[in-house]
């Protein structure tokens, strides 16, 4: 039956890319009946299950309907809900938290599904970092996953994307109150600097040509948009070390590093699951050209471009029109 409260699975001692976690924890939520086909829907950067980040696609009549599917939403390691620098006790707390890969997350999520009695995954759906996890699910567990949906995402993080992420990372680490990660209270200066360096990339350039201040009149000025929409959100809900650790996972993203020794073409060609790849026309860092290239390497995948001026956030529930388009395409794909 449905269980929408946040749950926690304790893995015990768990090996990760950068070492070990003595008691790794994966946070998750479930929706629907476990006897129905299972859909996995992991979080992206900036998303928390407790804040309802997955709700734009989960619910009755939505893309992922609990009356039809058993839906499991997973919190990434380092997001502050699953094991993270902010909630792990010494000696792996704060800046001492080990590096985490997508593969580490997928292995942990798979363990939770086994605990729930799930043996097959009908589909893995993800936006941004969630989409990168969808690619990794299809690579790490090809015998389990039937299909996957990657929205505004990629099978590996591009050099362009990696370079961009160095900007907000450097801004945060240079904040006078960051103290090399050994802060004792919220380093607001550092987090606010990160938010301002990070915010512009998420939107297509066309979106800034007259739509910025509309949004129901929420943001009368550009500064209000950056302060309320970005600074406030991260200061209120995020830990600085968590933000850095999660960026590191993002920068490491590459399905071919899992088992193909860097053979990207061979890795994608070996994926058995059916794919739906949905980039946004104006996404500046998960570009549709990259998605088209990846689809050409996949054996059984469809490319559907979101024709939107909202850039990257078109895939994350930023506006009703794009959500309706994504919902329709996912429903058709699942049917």
Across all residues in the chain, what is the average pLDDT?
A: 93
Q: Which residues pair with 277 in a beta bridge?
A: 150, 303
From residue 66, how far is each of 12, 50, 151, 328 by CA, in Å? 30, 18, 20, 16
Q: Which one is catalytic: 65, 239, 283, 322?
A: 283
pLDDT tens digits for 240-267? 999 999 999 999 999 999 877 889 999 9
Q: Which one is catalytic: 86, 101, 154, 312?
A: 312
Calpha distance 226→230 (Å, rounded): 5
Domain boundaries, the chain: 3-158+254-334, 161-247
Q: Give the range among 6-10, 170-174, 274-278, 318-322 with minimum mean pLDDT.
A: 318-322
pLDDT-derived band of residue 280, with 50, 70 and 90 as boundaries?
very high
Q: Nearest CA to 78 among 27, 154, 4, 128?
A: 27
pLDDT-derived band of residue 217, with 50, 70 and 90 as boundaries?
low
pLDDT tens digits for 103-127? 999 999 999 999 999 999 999 999 9
- Please determine, for residue 2, whether its predicted confidence score (pLDDT) is greater than 80: no
What SS3 state is found at 106?
Answer: helix
Q: Whats the size of the chain, residue-wise?
A: 335
Q: State yes or no: is 248 an active-site residue.
A: no
- Please determine, for residue 209, whether its predicted confidence score (pLDDT) is greater than 80: no
Write out the two tokens for 295.
Answer: 């689809």
Average pLDDT, stretch 152-168?
A: 96
- Please determine, for residue 169, whether its predicted confidence score (pLDDT) is greater than 90: yes
Q: State yes or no: is 283 an active-site residue.
A: yes
Record the pTM. Answer: 0.95
From residue 254, how far is each of 17, 134, 156, 270 by CA, in Å? 14, 12, 4, 15
CA torsion angle 304 308 314 320 (round to 10)? -100
Q: State yes or no: is 128 an active-site residue.
A: yes
Average pLDDT, stretch 62-71?
A: 98
CATH number attached to the domain at 3-158+254-334: 3.40.50.1820
Percentage of the chain beyond pLDDT 70 is 94
* Edge-to-edge strand list for the sheet holding 147-151: 3-16, 19-31, 70-74, 38-42, 123-127, 147-151, 274-278, 301-303
- Please determine, for residue 1, whether its predicted confidence score (pLDDT) is greater than 80: no
pLDDT-derived band of residue 203, with 50, 70 and 90 as boundaries?
low
* Residue indicated by tokens 């990657």: 150
The separation between the first and the last C-alpha atoms of the chain, rounded to the nearest angstrom, is 22
Write out the two tokens for 274.
Answer: 């059916």
Q: Which residues pair with 30 in a beta bridge?
A: 3, 72
Average pLDDT, stretch 275-286?
A: 94
Q: Which one is catalytic: 101, 128, 256, 308?
A: 128
pLDDT-derived band of residue 214, with 50, 70 and 90 as boundaries?
very low
Average pLDDT, stretch 170-192?
A: 98
What SS3 state is found at 36?
Answer: coil
pLDDT score for 211:
55
Q: Nearest CA to 335 among 139, 65, 41?
A: 65
pLDDT score for 208:
52
- Please determine, for residue 212, whether its predicted confidence score (pLDDT) is greater than 60: no
Overall CATH class of domain 161-247:
mainly alpha
- Which residues fall within 8 angstroms of residue 13, CB to CB, at 6 or more apart? 20, 21, 22, 23, 24
Would you give the DSSP letter of residue 97?
Answer: P
Q: Nearest CA to 155 among 169, 139, 143, 144?
A: 139
């Amino acid at each position: 039956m449905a269980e929408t409260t946040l749950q926690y699975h304790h893995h015990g001692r768990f090996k990760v890319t950068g070492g070990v976690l003595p008691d790794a924890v994966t946070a998750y939520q479930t929706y629907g009946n476990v006897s129905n086909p299972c859909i996995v829907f992991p979080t992206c950067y900036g998303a928390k299950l407790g804040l309802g980040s997955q709700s734009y696609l989960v619910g009755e009549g939505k893309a992922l309907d609990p009356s039809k599917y058993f839906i499991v939403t997973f919190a990434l390691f380092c997001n502050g809900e699953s094991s993270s620098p902010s909630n792990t006790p010494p000696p792996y707390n704060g800046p001492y938290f080990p590096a985490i890969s997508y593969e580490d997350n997928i292995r942990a999520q798979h363990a939770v599904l086994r605990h729930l009695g799930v043996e097959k995954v009908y589909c893995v759906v993800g936006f941004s970092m969630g989409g990168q996890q969808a690619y990794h699910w299809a690579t790490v567990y090809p015998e389990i996953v039937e299909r996957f949906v990657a929205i505004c995402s990629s099978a590996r993080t591009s050099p362009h994307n990696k370079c961009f992420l160095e900007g907000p990372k450097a801004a945060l680490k240079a904040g006078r109150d960051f103290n090399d990660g050994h802060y004792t209270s919220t380093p607001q200066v550092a987090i606010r600097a990160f938010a301002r360096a990070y915010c512009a990339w998420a939107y297509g350039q066309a979106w800034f040509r007259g739509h910025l201040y509309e949004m129901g009149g929420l943001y009368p000025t550009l500064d209000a948009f950056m302060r309320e929409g970005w600074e406030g959100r991260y200061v209120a809900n995020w830990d600085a070390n968590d933000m850095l650790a999660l960026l590191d996972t993002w920068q490491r993203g590459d399905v071919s590093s899992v088992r193909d020794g860097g053979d990207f073409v061979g890795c994608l060609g070996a994926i058995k699951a059916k794919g739906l790849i949905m980039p946004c026309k104006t996404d500046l860092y998960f570009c549709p050209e990259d998605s088209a290239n990846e689809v050409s390497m996949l054996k059984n995948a469809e490319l559907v471009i979101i024709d939107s001026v909202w850039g990257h956030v078109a895939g994350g529930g930023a506006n009703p029109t794009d959500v309706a388009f994504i919902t329709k395409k996912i429903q058709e794909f699942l049917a």
